[in-house]
Structure 1
Amino acid sequence: MRVLLLQPRPKGGLGFQSTICVEPLGLEIVAGALTSAHHQVKLLDLLEGELPVNAVKEFNPQAIGISCSFAVDTYRVLNLAQALRQINPKFFIFVGGHHASLTPEAFFHPAIDALVIGEGETTTPELISALEGGQDLSQVRGLVLNYPDGQVFTGIRPLLTNLDQVPFPRRDLTAPYRPHYFLGFRRPVITVETSRGCPYRCNFCSVWRFNRGRFRTMSPERVVEELAQLPPGDVLFTDDNFLADIPRVLRIIALIKQKRLPRRRFIIQARSDTIVAHADLIAKLKEVGLDQVFIGFEKTENQDLENVGKRNTVENNERALKVLQSLNIGVYASFIVDPQFNETDFKKLAEYVKRLRISQPYFSVLTPLPGTELFEKVKEHITTFNYELYDLLHAVLPTKLPLPRFYQELVNLYRSAYLKPSNVLFTVWWALKQLLLGKISLSHWRRLWYGAKLTVNPEAYFKPLN
């Protein structure tokens, strides 16, 4: 059966919408599973934000799957499904991904036939085979079927118990797009998944709920086998907590050395308490390429960390920062801005970042994403259910400050961190050098510049979004 997989994209915008564009790893994995089931697969990454109608007509798919991992993409997906339905009313259109799985009711729409709930690489091949054979889709577990009078859930599909069974991603399908994938100034960048879930229970995070409270890993051998097949570029491990299993990480390091894999730069996500407890492990990871770590600092006070269920301390955050800085490993430090912040709270956070000399902070507004414990706790207080505003930079809960003032203070955080004259001059010089060397493209530079200008402009937070 001919199956088309689509990755919708924003044309740019605030924050991550302009500063990050990585390969659609989930779709690549689903494509691998469909290929193993002997289906013909095409993947279109809509980097220009528009549907390539001619490419759709030329492939003439029998089924089309659309990814929706983030709440902010909801309306983009719905519009895309409607456009596809106009091309051919007979297309079977299904939607999957993180957000779609946790909020299937948002996709109860006549242009969408079904939703794949949970891990797509197991359910999707069975769905496509049932379609091909004219079988009853209600017998395929892990679906939500859209009917004119409502939605029907076909039952929970068990999670994979052995992640080594996850198909290798069909990265060849995204090869034409690879020069356009980036993480900030990093380009090219490849994403790799080696585990799913997280042992912790932060109330603002939906990852552990999507994975039903379970944490699962690939074997070190499977991880290194995939690393050996990657195209050139930096590697971003998408695991929410790469260091959750220390013996596994040690084995991965040993295998990378044993196999003599080409040296490349790695970026991971990790908790500060693990870094502090295993500083020697961080040094060993540095030896095989660890270049940057994303850490959720979240708050500057222990009580505030407790309030979001972080189960960590400010002291651990600061110690982990010192460990990484001593090894010359970069740190992306994420902080949560509470809608109830006043001017003093904003100033305190800015001074904290300055005192710790955090060069790459990220400030996100506390957002009750659908599917999280936080959403259930505060949903009666949410001021808007417009998913375009669920980008972690807009307030969807009441703010203590008048909204214009709140956004001005948020912008001031970014300005204080990134618009110091020395930082601006160095960044511009470095970017121009990379541009002349051909390591970044002009379009890449323009997109980053556009996103940065929006993020430090308080008026941009009130303008219509993509």
Structure 2
Amino acid sequence: MKILLVKPYPELLVAKRLQEGFLHLEPLELEIVAGGVSREDEVFILDLSIESNPLEFFLNELVRISPDMVGFSGYSTNVDVIKKLAKMVRNYDQYIITCVGGVHATLLPQDYAVDQIDIIVRGEGGTVIKEMLRRFKKGETLHYDNRALSPKDPDFEAKTKLAPPVYPSVEEIPRPRRYLVQRSKYFCVWTSSQSGKLDTMFPRVASLRTSIGCAFSCSFCVIPFLMHGKYLQRSPIDVADEIAAISEEHIYFVDDEMFLNPERVARIAELLIERCIKKKYISWARSDTIVKYPEVFRIWKKAGLELIYVGLESMDKIRLDEYSKRTDVETNGKAIEILKQLGITLHATFIVHPDFTRDDFKRLEKEVKGLCPAEVTFTVLSPSPGTTSWYDNKKIFICDPYRFYDCMHSVLPTRLPLKRFYQHFGRLNSLALRSNPIRVNKIKIPLKDLYRAITGGTKYIFSLYNIYKDYLTDKRW
């Protein structure tokens, strides 16, 4: 049997500019799904986000491979694109089985109840596809439980109202088949250097997941809804073994929250050191975790951790309480100091609220300057589709809440006029780029990388200033 797994392409310019200039990670979710396919079957991965002409490429590959099944995975922003691609499959060969999975399919499966889609996968796709293929070979129905839904099922509507299925144990989830993608296409901007120079600012990066879920429930986050509050953790030995098998020198941990169990993550670092596995790492961490367990980050620094993304979100207590962060401004400040002392580069992320005034933007600009040198990025507060906040705000969305749910476009009314709001938003990001460690610490990088960084950064900032124009194309609202 031939299975074709497809990652859709981004539609909006801001997402394209971000992937071109700063961060483009491999489709790890599809690599894991591919891991659930038996070796007797053929499996292919098409990442359309790396193609200059994705629709033409997709159709050509569809004809070349002639698969028995095509599976799509995507976020809410990809709903319309996935439907378009699935229709292309149906027009090419009506007997090809089409299925879709991912976060949106798990939370809002009814949005994929269209003729061109046969199966809607909910939850961990790597285990579901294994069961689906077993059923296919035995001539049984591919639909089962609440994990593989049929839009034609008479009880479909009732099943969509059920909570997402419980995730399987981490031992059941297959290892990713990384060799199925063009690995040279995936990178992350790297601004951390202990020597004052970098061989490249855009190293090839591998993605790795050591845990699934988070014990916290921030109001803007979709993870608690997906995971029922559970936090699944892989064993230190299993993680170290996978890291050792990865060819890339740089690794990006994509855990929702990697450091919640300090003993586990400390043991992973110890194993890496004991086995002389020398790589460089990026991860996310909460500020209160950094403050509570500085010794864990000290050993991880020794193991190769060079940069940490920290969701500071705000340096305002009222906002932090509103976001249910369960942390405070003082803790944020302590975490920043600890990372400086350890020599770990900070990547601070902040939330820009749609009700921001000019003064709010100015205060945030001041905070950015105070963090320098650091990587700093911003998102616009947006309700995650399928969450309580999304349903509460459904009547006041100013645009398509799926297509524009990229945490850059505001789907909620802004206090400032949209054009003015994004002038301030663009200025914030421009200031952050000028405050990055490469520039402030005068780190030496290759001339070609400098040109690429300036060009990519300029295009990205320009796209942010002009986000307001995207709303003019949203004719459905």
TM-score, normalising length from structure 2?
0.88
Note the alpha carbon deviations across 1:323-371, whole angstroms, 9 max, x for none: 1122221111111111111111111111111123253211111101112
Q: State the 1:277 CA deviation.
A: 1.2
Partner of residue 41, structure 1: 43
Partner of residue 159, structure 1: 166
Note the alpha carbon deviations across 1:351-394, whole angstroms, 9 max, x for none: 11112325321111110111233213322322223422111111
- 1:382 and 1:398 in contact (8 A); partners too: yes
Equivalent of residue 175 in structure 2, options 168, 175, 184: 168
Whole-angstrom distance in 1 between the partners of 2:270 and 2:258: 16
- 2:354 and 2:412 in contact (8 A); partners too: yes
Q: Does 1:280 align with 2:306?
A: no
Partner of residue 63, structure 1: 69
Q: Does 1:450 align with 2:459?
A: yes
Whole-angstrom distance in 1 between the partners of 2:229 and 2:82: 27
- 1:164 and 1:222 in contact (8 A); partners too: no
What secondary structure, in the 3-state scheme, does the structure 1 residue paired with 2:264 have? helix
Q: State the 1:130 CA deviation.
A: 2.2
Note the alpha carbon deviations across 1:170-211, whole angstroms, 9 max, x for none: 01111xx11111123432000001100000000110012111
Partner of residue 7, structure 2: 7
Whole-angstrom distance in 1 between the partners of 2:72 and 2:406: 19
Whole-angstrom distance in 2 between the partners of 1:457 and 1:77: 26
Shift of the 80–449 alpha-carbon distance from structure 1 to 2, 3 Å rule, reads farther
- 1:110 and 1:148 in contact (8 A); partners too: no
- More moved, 447-456 vs 41-50: 447-456
Partner of residue 112, structure 1: 117
Q: What letter corresponds to residue 243 of structure 1 in structure 2?
A: F
Shift of the 353–447 alpha-carbon distance from structure 1 to 2, 3 Å rule, reads closer
Partner of residue 99, structure 1: 104
- More moved, 288-297 vs 427-436: 427-436
- More moved, 38-47 vs 242-251: 38-47
Unaligned runs of 5+ in 2: 190-200
- 2:3 and 2:44 in contact (8 A); partners too: yes
Q: Does 1:395 align with 2:395?
A: no
Q: What letter corresponds to residue 67 of structure 2 in structure 1?
A: P
Partner of residue 194, structure 2: none
Shift of the 431–459 alpha-carbon distance from structure 1 to 2, 3 Å rule, reads farther
Q: State the 1:418 CA deviation.
A: 2.2
Note the alpha carbon deviations across 1:262-297, whole angstroms, 9 max, x for none: x11100110000101111221110001001101111
Equivalent of residue 215 in structure 1, options 231, 237, 261: 231
Unaligned runs of 5+ in 1: 437-441
Whole-angstrom distance in 2 between the partners of 1:339 and 1:281: 36
Equivalent of residue 270 in structure 2, options 251, 254, 262: 254
Whole-angstrom distance in 2 between the partners of 1:394 and 1:151: 32
Whole-angstrom distance in 1 between the partners of 2:384 and 2:186: 26
Partner of residue 151, structure 2: 146
Identity %: 31
Note the alpha carbon deviations across 1:81-110, whole angstroms, 9 max, x for none: 112222212111000011221121221221
Q: Does 1:52 align with 2:54?
A: no
Find runs of 4+ consecutive structure 1 residues off by over 6 angstroms. Answer: 154-157, 420-429
Whole-angstrom distance in 1 between the partners of 2:443 and 2:358: 31
- 1:161 and 1:216 in contact (8 A); partners too: no
Q: What letter corresponds to residue 145 of structure 1 in structure 2?
A: S
- 2:348 and 2:377 in contact (8 A); partners too: yes
Q: State the 1:44 CA deviation.
A: 1.4
- More moved, 342-351 vs 381-390: 381-390
Query: Where do 1:363-378 residues align within 5 Å?
Result: 363-378=378-393
Whole-angstrom distance in 1 between the partners of 2:114 and 2:456: 33
Q: What letter corresponds to residue 40 of structure 1 in structure 2?
A: E
Q: What letter corresponds to residue 453 of structure 1 in structure 2?
A: F
Whole-angstrom distance in 2 between the partners of 1:349 and 1:156: 38
Q: State the 1:320 CA deviation.
A: 0.7
What secondary structure, in the 3-state scheme, does the structure 2 residue paired with 1:367 have? coil
Whole-angstrom distance in 2 between the partners of 1:323 and 1:11: 39
TM-score, normalising length from structure 1?
0.90
Partner of residue 245, structure 1: 261
Q: State the 1:2 CA deviation.
A: 1.4
Whole-angstrom distance in 1 between the partners of 2:266 and 2:153: 53
Equivalent of residue 197 in structure 1, options 195, 213, 229: 213
Q: State the 1:112 CA deviation.
A: 1.0
Whole-angstrom distance in 1 between the partners of 2:443 and 2:455: 12
Whole-angstrom distance in 2 between the partners of 1:448 and 1:112: 39
Shift of the 281–420 alpha-carbon distance from structure 1 to 2, 3 Å rule, reads closer
Partner of residue 348, structure 1: 363
Whole-angstrom distance in 2 between the partners of 1:218 and 1:57: 39
- More moved, 274-283 vs 50-59: 50-59
Partner of residue 198, structure 2: none
- 1:3 and 1:64 in contact (8 A); partners too: yes
Partner of residue 396, structure 2: 381
Whole-angstrom distance in 1 between the partners of 2:446 and 2:147: 46
Whole-angstrom distance in 2 between the partners of 1:204 and 1:20: 22
Whole-angstrom distance in 1 between the partners of 2:172 and 2:457: 37
Q: Does 1:291 align with 2:306?
A: yes
Equivalent of residue 91 in structure 2, options 86, 95, 103: 86
Query: Where do 1:414-453 residues align within 5 Å?
Result: 414-419=429-434, 430=445, 432-434=447-449, 449-453=458-462
- 1:414 and 1:456 in contact (8 A); partners too: no
Q: What letter corresponds to residue 47 of structure 2 in structure 1?
A: D
Equivalent of residue 334 in structure 2, options 319, 324, 331: 319
Partner of residue 196, structure 2: none
Whole-angstrom distance in 1 between the partners of 2:31 and 2:336: 34
Partner of residue 413, structure 1: 428
Partner of residue 76, structure 1: 81
Equivalent of residue 20 in structure 1, options 23, 32, 36: 23
What secondary structure, in the 3-state scheme, does the structure 1 residue paired with 2:206 have? strand
What secondary structure, in the 3-state scheme, does the structure 1 residue paired with 2:37 have? helix
- 2:32 and 2:177 in contact (8 A); partners too: yes
What secondary structure, in the 3-state scheme, does the structure 2 residue paired with 1:72 have? helix
Partner of residue 439, structure 1: none
Q: What letter corresponds to residue 61 of structure 1 in structure 2?
A: P
Shift of the 225–52 alpha-carbon distance from structure 1 to 2, 3 Å rule, reads same
Q: What letter corresponds to residue 166 of structure 1 in structure 2?
A: I
Whole-angstrom distance in 2 between the partners of 1:327 and 1:13: 37
What secondary structure, in the 3-state scheme, does the structure 2 residue paired with 1:409 have? helix
